[in-house]
Every structure is written in C-alpha cells, then in structure tokens.
Chains A and B, each alone.
Chain A
C-alpha cells in the first residue's frame, strides 16, 4: 500500500476527532471502599475482563451500580494516560461512559482518537449514552469514522444531544446511504424521531431483505432489527413476522399496512433511496468468500460468484464484473489451499479480529477456515497456504479513490482489505501484478 493511501486510511480513522481535552472535574474523591466492597470491586472487574462470556457484561453492569468507588478504581486502572483502558477489555470499556466521572470520560475520548485502540467501537457507544453539550463536534466527527459502530454511536450521540438539529438532519440524511445497514437504520430511526417520519420507509425496506452470506442470514437479522425500531415508533408491527419470508401472505399484507401508515404520517412523500439501501436477496453460485472483521480496521464481506462476479457487502451488495475465467482460477487455488490445510479449520483464539475464508468444494459442500485473535498481534497466525492465496484474491478488488460516482463500498477496497488482513492474520503479500 502506498504511503499516501495508508495516510488516507489513518486520516479517515481519525476523521473529525478532535484532540481530547483533559476535561477532568474537580471533585472530592469518594471514600475508600471497605474491605468487603473492595473485594467485590476486584471480583467484578476480573469477571468483566476474563469471566465466562455471558457473565462479563453482567459483571460490568454490577460495577456501574456500585458507582463512585468503582469509577475510582477503574480510573486508577486506566492510568493517567488512559493506556490501561486497552487491557480492560470490551465489556468494561462498554460501561465506562455510564459513570459520572469526567476524568474517565476524558480518557475515553483520548483513547478513541487513537486508530490503534482496539476498543474504539465500545468506547464510542458508551460515550454516546451520556453525551455532553461540549462534545457535539466530536459526535459529528464520529459519523465520518471508518468503523461502522463508531458512526452509529455518532448518530446516537447526536440524537441524544439534540443540538443543531437541522445540521444533524442534513448529516443523517446522508447516512441513510451509509454502506453499513446498522448505521442506515440508526440514522433513519433518528430522523423519524426528529420529525421526519418518511425515513421510516428506509426501515420498511429492510423488512424485505432476504440476503444471506454463505448461510449467515443477514437479511433476517436486518428484518428483526428494523421491525423493532419500527414498532417502537409506530406503536404497532402490523402483524409482520421477521422470522418469516417477507413475501409470505401474512407479511405482504402487514408490510402494505405498515407502509400505508408511514405514508400517511409523512404526508405522502417518501425519500428516494440510494441503491445500496434497497433490499437485497440471496445469490446463487457464490463459491468463494472472504469475511474480515477487525476491531481496528472494520468489516468486509466479499463473495466471488461462479458467474465471474465479485459481490461486496451485505444487503444489496455492490457488484463487480470480473474477466471471464477469473473465479474458476481463484476457486482452483482456494481448493488447493484448503487441501494444503489438511483437517485444520481454525487458527488462533477467540477475539475481535476474525478472518474467514469459505470455499465451495467440487461437490458443492462449503469449507470454512477461521482465523481469530484478540487485540494483541500474533505472529505467523495465518497458515502459509492461505497466505499464498491472498494476493490473487486481492488482485480482483477495485481500488478507486473515493469520490462522486464511486460506490463507497468499493472505494479503496483493495487497500482496506490489505489493512484489515494486516490487522488480523498479518500483512499479506502484495497483489500480483501480472
């Protein structure tokens, strides 16, 4: 990757974030906890960091209930420069903004401005729960972040602050065309809450999604998420059942009634939606997939179809035509790489960085290879056979500079994939030039 492109990605990662001011408040320190309370604090902190997975968020929640003594201990763990926040893990970071503790909040802003901080998404979410009036620009900055969850937190923060509403509306109207469905839904819901009920139409379109990614029912997930937001705002789900096909008899009628209600509330005018916000369906013939999820570098969902098409994203995925024979050649290489992995299918340990390669065999059966790690770098994590496959896959990815007429899902796609791969299983070899 060229230094210029790398710089752009880093700049995007920090886009709009202002340097954090100290923001610490002068306050009387809380009284030291007694021995029993101190033991409880340590126990909950430990459980929230390393306990069994379902226990972690509950332990973090108990810390919030303990209030000031817990905040004081977490502040101590965070350290003066906030470096200790990294080691707290996702679930503790997720609640730090709920303490009424300005010093913790200042450290969170400081850490979230660092593109290499692994917990930027949970940090942004927790900051958005209790936004301060002075942080308005920072939340606008969030809405331009490369990480979808940070952009979504920006929407939530702006909505709660409810300052400069007209400016917020203009920005959220842009986010209705965001590459991430989570961001689009959040923006549409907030626009409705700000007196623009026509944007509920965006959510109603999500109810029509049936797309899957190698069996992962992203369309169904979107239907459930959209239905919840619609019901909260319309007071009724009109009998729509998210687990059923959108075109089932009951759902078709329900969707008609629901849209009728939206139309009535919005005075008959509905927004024009960009192509990426329209409903997508399943595709036949996907034979090779690369799914990247990095806590620092974001998410990418890539599918190569036997019709020599590359699909990028979920929902109505972006479509890239490839030269004839490209996918057959990639598939041969991917099957050889799979065979070279023997019976191994998993490398690493559970964490927020994940690469998944999916390969259709000659019999059509799908093989999934999973590489996973936590926030720390792990040398030589990716097996050599997959390392060898990556340059050929990367070569097929477009890499256009962002700008008018460029689908945001395709802008700098190759660079973003290289960046994500580097953050997860290690830097791949450069895409082949031949």
Chain B
C-alpha cells in the first residue's frame, strides 16, 4: 500500500504575473473572447475540451484549437495515481480518473519549477495552453492539450 502525504497546495501559476487585459486576437472566436476573465486568462471548460469527437490524425476542431497559445484558466483534478516528484501530471475532469483513456480527455500540465505531490482536491490552474498532437517514438499520441504552469508550491 502506498500512502502519500498531502503536503502540497497547488496554487494558480504565474501568480505574480502582471494582469494586463489582452485584447481578443483576430483569430479568436467570439465565445473565447466572451470568456476572457478580468485578468488576461481565458476560462476554459475541461468538459468542452473533452467533448470533441476526435481521433489521432484528425483535424483538431476550431472550437478547441482557438485556445492554442492562449493564457487560460482551467479547473480539474490530478489523475488518480499521479506519483510524487514528477515535473508533470494529467488534469482530468474527475478525481477518479474514470473515462480518461482518450487523449482529449485530459490536459497534460507541466511545471516549470518544482514537482508534483498528489492531491485528490479540485485544482484551478492558470498557464499557457498548447493544442496539438504530441507523439511518442512509436507514433502514439501522448497528449493533445498541454498547459505550462510556472510552479507547484509545496
């Protein structure tokens, strides 16, 4: 049996970043612009990211590709079984990690400074979002959505 202590409190990354409202880009959809928060992050629904009908090799729907390169805020849960000491983890819509086998069903979060400690609590993260297929050496898609956050405060 593995017992992991909870010592971590995950804080929204880039907390010290200067909040400057960014204008909607010309490529940005109207809904994305509507969802832009008071700061400069766009609130993105993990459910919306998960809901796309997509298989590896398909074109990525504009509904979600519009967030590529944007600063976003997204809420979810660490995938059940996330191990300590990694520089990344998967954010899922449910702490059970059920039904998250498809690559559009999670956001791979990378931590620029620091490592993970598992928490089953809901997390709200802010960072730079990336939308594209990322393949491993065998051509399997490892992730579709990625979020780069600055730090995980322990």
Contact = CB atoms under 8 A, between A and B. Distances in A.
A binds B: yes
Which A-B residue pairs are the 8 nearest by beta carbons? A350-B81, A243-B45, A370-B120, A345-B6, A343-B5, A368-B120, A224-B51, A215-B122
Given A55-B142, A241-B31, A242-B51, A343 B81 contact: no
B90 interface: yes
A78 B99 CA distance: 24
A345 B45 contact: no
Contacts, number: 113
A356 B101 CA distance: 21
Contacts of A243: 45, 47-48
A20 interface: no
A53 B6 contact: no
Contact of A220 (B7, B47, B81, B119): B47
11 contacts: A52-B136, A54-B141, A57-B102, A242-B48, A242-B51, A344-B4, A345-B6, A345-B118, A356-B120, A367-B121, A370-B95
Contacts of A342: 5
B94 interface: yes
Interface string B110-154: 000000001111100000000000001010111100000000000
Contacts of B56: 58
Interface in A214-256: 215-217, 220-221, 223-225, 228, 241-243
A343 B6 contact: yes
Interface string A106-132: 000000000000000000000000000
B71 interface: no
Interface of A: 47, 51-59, 90-91, 215-217, 220-221, 223-225, 228, 241-243, 291, 293, 342-352, 354, 356, 366-370, 372, 378, 380-381
A347 B97 contact: no
Interface in B78-119: 79-81, 90, 93-98, 100-103, 106, 118-119
Interface string B1-34: 1111111000000000000000000000001000
A54 B121 contact: no
Nearest to A59: B140
Q: Is the interface of A mostly helix, strand, loop or mixed?
A: mixed
A356 B77 CA distance: 13
Interface residues of B, number: 41
Given A228-B51, A368-B120, A58 B98 contact: no
Nearest to B56: A58
A344 B96 contact: no
B47 A242 contact: yes
A58 B31 CA distance: 32
B80 A350 contact: yes
Contacts of B122: 215-216
A55 B136 contact: yes
Given A348-B1, A350-B81, A372-B81, A356 B96 contact: yes
Contacts of A349: 2, 81
A130 B99 CA distance: 22
Contacts of A291: 96
A356 B47 contact: no
Nearest to B105: A54
B101 A381 contact: no
Contacts of A378: 1
A10 to B, nearest CB: 24
Contacts of B142: 52, 54-55
A366 B106 CA distance: 23
Contacts of B100: 53
A54 B103 contact: yes
Nearest to A243: B45
A233 to B, nearest CB: 15
B4 A54 contact: no
Contact of B47 (A224, A344, A372): A224
